[in-house]
Amino acid sequence: MELIVFLVLIALMVILMLLRVPVAYAIGLTAVAGFLIYVSGAQARHFRVGLIAQRIVAGANSFTLLAIPLFLFAGKVMNEGGVTDRIFHFAGSLVGRLKGGLGHVNVVASLIFSGMSGAAVADMAGMGVLEIKAMRDVGYDGAFSCAVTGSSAIIGPIVPPSIPMVVYSVLAGVSTGKLFLGGIIPGVLMSLLLMVMVSIISRKRGYPTGHMMTFRERIVSLIRALLPLMAPIIIVGGIWSGIFTPTEAACVGALYAIGISLIGYRSIGLWKLWKVAQETAIDSAAIILMLACASYYSAVLSLMRVPHTLADQIVMLSTNPLVILIIINIFLLLIGFFIPAMVSINIFTPILVPVITQLGIDPVFFGVIMVLNLMIGMLTPPFGIVLFTLAKVSDEPTEHVIREMWPFIGILVVALAILIAFPQLVTFIPDHL
């Protein structure tokens, strides 16, 4: 009975989203409907609407959630402050000489910027247009340039800091710091595999090799990028050493971004800083409202015992945690085609975490895997926000970008499979620090 009601609620949520009801309201209305369906008539008479508001407010009342607007703000300030250009040139000094040089530069620059922004869209907005133009100018196909840019942008939510991991940590009740540290090796692994794919395609198509920089040029590039490069070191190093919590790290990162952009480089003024703060407030409000409604949705699911019933049903399929993990990941990959990543995290985290916990799977490991899995969905039609944004900003036909994107989606799925097979790649750093 519980699973039938749950499926009805999922169908209701999908219908509301198709009707263009804002995601937060769709989740909240579905939760209210589930509660009213589940309670008996006598209980319903004593039901007070104020209890819904109290639960939603409680879902947003979390110190950890302060990290979301702060990381968003830091990434936006870095974008507006011209930091991306310095990072791009520094990445060129490291790997530009390889075959398919600017493709490799694209990946490395995204890896570096990931340590500042925490969001795939922020990475794409900051580095994307610059990277695509640079690759086109030296002879790379536009759709291929978009594919490299998009696939490397999703490293952002894997390498710390990560906004989706903050959301997962709140819903799953696990350490944000451990999730951040768990994303370091997977982020590097994704970068290396993407560079392998870039190299293979570049050799096949004869894409150009970048020029060899002199030692002096490399030093100049390093000096120009030194202050931005310190940002991920300060954020990750502070969490790693225990000097500050992830939320405090977000505050430090935001202040550091203001310092280097407003004072260090003088590349952003007070008026622009105010506009960035306004944009951040709007974006953050949407995310946190969705998370608050998801908190009420989670409470209703727990009341209906959906996670426990689902866990029992899944365990009946197999008692092997690896088999169950593969089934769940195939399910998430399919979900990623149709539901945006942040929405999926809000909907499915309260359902799946009790399942994997019952099977003895580390929720920190599962969090990193879940985020990576759903980020791949941002590159796929019909709802891949990164895919369609890239096609729009580059003026490339969407079907061309989709065709070029598939090899990179494939290599990211390979990265996901490696992490599932070797969970120590995720848990090694959190477990030993």
SS3 assignment, position 265: coil
What's the pLDDT tens digit per position in 35-51?
Answer: 777 665 445 554 556 66
Closest to 408 in 3D by CA, of 88, 143, 127, 55: 143
Q: What percent of the chain stands above pLDDT 70?
A: 91
What's the pLDDT tens digit per position in 211-259?
Answer: 777 788 888 888 888 888 888 888 878 877 778 887 888 888 888 888 8
- DSSP, res 263: I
Q: Looking at this protein, which amino acid is placed at residue 320? A: N
Q: Looking at this protein, which amino acid is placed at residue 9? A: L
Closest to 393 in 3D by CA, of 132, 186, 171, 153: 132
Whether pLDDT at 373 is above 90: yes
Closest to 307 in 3D by CA, of 337, 347, 362: 347
Residue 287: how many other CB atoms lie within 10 Å: 22
Whether pLDDT at 79 is above 60: yes
Peptide bond connecting 382 to the previous residue in cis, omega within 30 degrees of 0? yes
d(CA 134, CA 131): 5
Q: Looking at this protein, which amino acid is placed at residue 119? A: A
* Cα 130 from chain centre: 21
Q: What average pLDDT does the segment 135-146 reach? A: 85
Per the structure block, which two tokens stand in for 408?
């990179």
